[in-house]
Amino acid sequence: MSGILDIDHLTVTLAGEDRPKPVLSDVSMSIAEGEAVGLVGESGSGKSMTVRSIIRLLPPGARMEGNIRVRGVDLGTLRGAALRKMRAEMPVIFQDPRAHINPVRSVGDFLTEALRIHRRMSRAAAEDRAADVLDEVGVSEARRRLRQYPHELSGGLLQRVMIASALLAEPRLLLADEPTTALDVTTQAEVMAVMDELRRERGLAMLFITHDLELAAAICDRTAVMYAGRVMEVRASASLLERPLHPYTAALATARPSIERKVDRLTTIPGRPLSAFEAPDGCAFNTRCAHVRESCREQRPELRTLLDGQVACVRVEELQAVSHD
């Protein structure tokens, strides 16, 4: 792999009361310069843990195997100031901005702190720069907003402040961890439009975590589908949405409500999502899959190239042939 972000056979195990608990298992993916990659899956599949592994913010006692490189630099070799500098080049936009902005400091203090400390900018120059970026992300009356506190802003405005904070670092890579989950539908659309437009204008790469396959298809070049800490399918977003190859991807697509079709009852995936440490032998999805065979329980499928991407399913060619009959 060769990109701005390369994840190679990443496995993460957390300390447990009785035994270590794996939460990511042999995850590999790559993001090229200027490319947006979506990471989709149910809660507990390992999406957010992947982001925390990238920025090296894992819980105490966690053990990480594999390799993560940003612009060719192995993050596992970085410590102290070097690691902080690299983190600034790949800021995270979290799903709940109120949990990540100090409530007793003004918006201006939050936005200008890094500029004043790391770039030695004066307060006036830093505020000018912060106001300019707030304008870019669609925050009106930017100068007044700098004097306000987080509790005085709506969730949508506060998330735009988080996006502005990320852009002020002039990053090459954005890590967006469900950045619109805490917002209403209309505000979600506005915030995503701002993020997508600014990302394309600046040529930024992005890892975008979401539960929504259609949203990933709308803003991401490729989408990776994760289940039980494993990557099940990685393909061009439009192709993955229109013709999913892995049974889990197909089940997610079928379970999503649509305004284009009327049904008496929504389709659901039987059972419950599993974490990596709960995954059975063989394919992690075999306890919930409608197409399971004995070979699925015996053999763990590896990601292999098929069509325009990769898929981890031993029956994929057979299932595709049946679906086209």
Interval 69-85: pLDDT, tens = 999 999 989 999 899 88
Evaluate if residue 1 carries a pLDDT over 60: no
Three-state SS annotation for the chain: CCCCEEEEEEEEEECCCCCCEEEEEEEEEEECCCCEEEEECCCCCCHHHHHHHHCCCCCCCCEEEEEEEECCEEHHHCCHHHHHHHHHCCCEECCCHHHCCCCCCCHHHHHHHHHHHHCCCCHHHHHHHHHHHHHHCCCCCHHHHHHCCHHHCCHHHHHHHHHHHHHHCCCCEEEEECCCCCCCHHHHHHHHHHHHHHHHHHCCEEEEEECCHHHHHHHCCEEEEEECCEEEEEEEHHHHHHCCCCHHHHHHHHHCCCCCCCCCCCCCCCCCCCCHHHCCCCCCCCCCCCCCCHHHHHCCCCCEEECCEEECCCCHHHHHHHHCC
Instruction: Average the pLDDT over each of 16-25, 250-259, 266-275 and give the range with the smallest value.
Output: 250-259
pTM metric for this prediction? 0.91
pLDDT at 321 over 80: no
- pLDDT(175) > 90: yes
Query: Domain coordinates of the chain in residue numbers?
Result: 101-169, 245-323
Give the pLDDT confidence of 44-71 residue by residue, as tens digits. 999 999 999 999 999 999 999 999 999 9
| pLDDT reading at 114 higher than 90 | no
Residue-level pLDDT at 264: 75
